[in-house]
Structure 1
Amino acid sequence: MPKTGLLIIILGVIFMKGNRATEEEVWEVLKMMDIYSGRKYFIFGEPWRLITRDLVKENYLEYCQVPNNSPPCYEFLWGPRTHAEASKMKLLEFLAKIHGTNSRSFPFQY
């Protein structure tokens, strides 16, 4: 369950950022939740490994190098399994509920 919650947060960041989010953007959101790369958590272990290896291996996320960037920069996208198992509209409704509003409050994503 904690792994799923973390995944939903990351998928929300990717979706809200236009279907791709840099590694930096994802970690900025996770820092607000007191989740840091390199720190080991009892519930889900080391988050960088969980996100960039386990969730990528399970095809929930894609982790790609952004071309023509110096220094190298990486970004996250929804993986094929997420596209098969999740609905962007349901995710938007969930995010809107968290923010105390409705999905139409996010016209770009709606």
Structure 2
Amino acid sequence: MAQRKRLSASQGSQSKRHSSSLRSQEEDEDGSFTQPSVSQVQRGLEKLTPTQVDQKTAEVVQYILMKDQKKIPVRRADLVKHVVKEYRNVYAEIIKRASTTFEQVFGLKLLEIDPKNHLYILVNNLDEPAPTAAPLVCPTNPKMGLLFVILSVIFMKGGMRGSGVRETLIWNTLRKLRVDPGQKHEEFGDVKKLVTEEFVRQKYLEYVRIPHTEPLEYEIRWGPRADVEVSKAKILEFMGQLYEQQPQSWTQQYREAHSTHSPTQPRGQK
């Protein structure tokens, strides 16, 4: 009888450990990673050598740079799961050192553009000269040029934050530029896929279903990356030159472009 009780207790303990392991795995998958406290970080650092922390920091920097080459935002959950791993208890210190490396070595700033889902991107540091503070102002890359046109249309037609335009307006505008979303383009390939998938994945755009529409319709909005990389004031200057008007002529857009919203402070982040 006593042996059966011990066996049952052992099985119960294993079951709890297994359940705990599954919960930990699920937390990694859904991104609900809880930052360790300051005291936990300090205790974790005491168990590691400076070389170990520096090596892990270098791995984090390399991972983020690799993602940034494709303009793919980095999820904190992926960073913890694939790179930080067993060093998660000192995550705060590692990400702090990585941020310092980006600023001092690369002249870049690591920003969290989505506090809810914990998405990070790299942008040019504010200490850099103005022309590089918004890399999409004068894009030389054809894809970025197309994106700049789309962002300009959305801003001029939507004006205020959080609003977009129906996708049909974007497609009609691109057709006027001889870029047909229904045909494969020599430079851009599948244009509709580029706009609604690639630019959305990179967080430059948001592709949002419009409720209560039949047939189903979507609108395209500025994404959080565009908020921190693209100067709305520069868009107005460009439009003013194009139409030979003062930027102040577009009252609503001018107010939005010159609001207190910081170009490198994503909405919702404090």
Same fold at TM > 0.5:
yes
From 155, 158, 164, give the equivalent of 1:15: 155
> What percent identity do the matched residue pairs reach?
41
Q: Please tell me whether residue 59 in structure 1 is matched to residue 203 in structure 2.
A: yes
Match in the other structure for 1:95: 239
> What secondary structure is seen at the aligned counterpart in 1 of 2:220?
strand
* Higher RCO structure (Cα 8 Å, ≥6 apart): 1
Partner of 2:228: 84
1:4 aligns with 2:144: yes
Which deviates further from its counterpart, 100-109 or 77-86?
100-109
Report deviation, 1:88: 1.4
- 98-107 vs 66-75, which moves further: 98-107
Q: Alpha carbon RMSD of aligned pairs, Å?
A: 1.2
**How many residues end up aligned between the 2 structures?**
110
Which runs of 4 or more aligned residues in structure 1 lie more than 6 Å from their structure 2 counterparts after TM superposition?
A: none
Compare the two structures and name the one with the higher helix fraction: 2
Moved more, 36-45 or 56-65: 36-45
CA distance in 1, matches of 2:222, 2:154: 7
Unaligned residue ranges in structure 2 (runs of 5+): 1-140, 255-270
Question: Secondary structure of the equivalent of 1:62?
Answer: strand
Counterpart amino acid of residue 229 in structure 2: E
- TM-score scaled by length of structure 2: 0.39
Shift of 1:99: 2.2
Contact 2:175–2:181, Cα closer than 8 Å, also in 1 = no
Larger radius of gyration: 2
What does the per-residue CA deviation read over 1:60-101, in whole Å, with 9 as the maximum and x for residues that have no partner?
Answer: 000000112122110000001001111211211122222232
Alpha-carbon distance between aligned partners in 2 of 1:14 and 1:33, rounded to the nearest angstrom: 16
Structure 1 unmatched runs, 5+: none
Alpha-carbon distance in 1 for matches of 2:210, 2:250? 27
